[in-house]
Amino acid sequence: MLEVKDMSQGEMVALLLRGRLGHLGCSRDGHPYVVPMNYAYDGECLFFFTTEGTKTEFISANHEVCFQVEEVTNESRWLSVMLFGRAERVTRPEETERAVQLLTGRNPTLTPALNETKIGAWKRFNNVAVYRVRPHSIHGRKTV
C-alpha cells in the first residue's frame, strides 16, 4: 500500500541541496508556463539562469514563481518539493559572480540554456539573466 506524507524541513532542504534539475513554473494573466531548469540552492535561496525570452517575459509580468524539484524512482516511490517565492533578477556584479559560481559548480557545461547563446565564457552575461528566489514557503511530499 502506498502512503504519502509531508516531508520535514530538513528533508526538503536536503533534496533541494542535492538536486540539480527542477521545473520552473511561471504565470501571467492566469496562464501557467512550466520549463525544466538547472538550478543551485545555497540553503537559503535558489538560483537559476536563463536567456532572454519567454521565461524572462513571464517573470517580468509576474515575479511570483514556483520551483518544483523531484526524485522519482517509480510511481510509488518518489519525493517532490515545491518552493514558492519571488524571482528577483541578480544584477550586482559580485552577487552575479557568486550565483554563477554556485550554478557552474553544479553545472559545469552550462546546459541547457547557455550553449544555445553561443557565448564563449561565463563572464559575458549580455543576454543571460540570473535570478534569485528567496522562498516564502516550501512544501514537500514523499511516499513512505
Chosen residue from 11, 14, 78, 98 binding another protein by CB under 8 A:
78
Closest approach of Cβ 62 to another protein, in Å? 7
Distance between terminal CA atoms of the chain? Answer: 10
Task: Report CA torsion sign: 36, 88, 136, 42.
Answer: positive
Nearer residue to another protein within complex by CB, 31 or 123: 31
Residues paired with 59 in a beta bridge: none
Q: Give residue 138's Cα distance to chain centre.
A: 13
Q: Is 91 helix (H, G, I), strand (E, B) or coil?
A: coil
Q: Is there binding between residue 64 and another protein (CB under 8 A)?
A: yes
Site mask, another protein, residues 18-57, x = CB under 8 A?
---x-xxxxx--xxxxxxx---------------------
Our measurement of the distance from residue 53's CA atom to the centroid of its chain's CA atoms, rounded to an integer in Å, reads 16
Residue 68 in contact with another protein, rule: CB under 8 A? yes
Quote the CA–CA distance of 27 and 92 in Å, as a whole number: 26
Interaction pattern, residues 79-118, with another protein; x per rule: CB under 8 A: -x-x-x----------------------x-x-xx--x---
Contact 42, 58 (CB under 8 A): no
Enumerate binding residues for another protein (CB under 8 A).
1-4, 21, 23-27, 30-36, 62, 64-68, 70, 72, 75-76, 78, 80, 82, 84, 107, 109, 111-112, 115
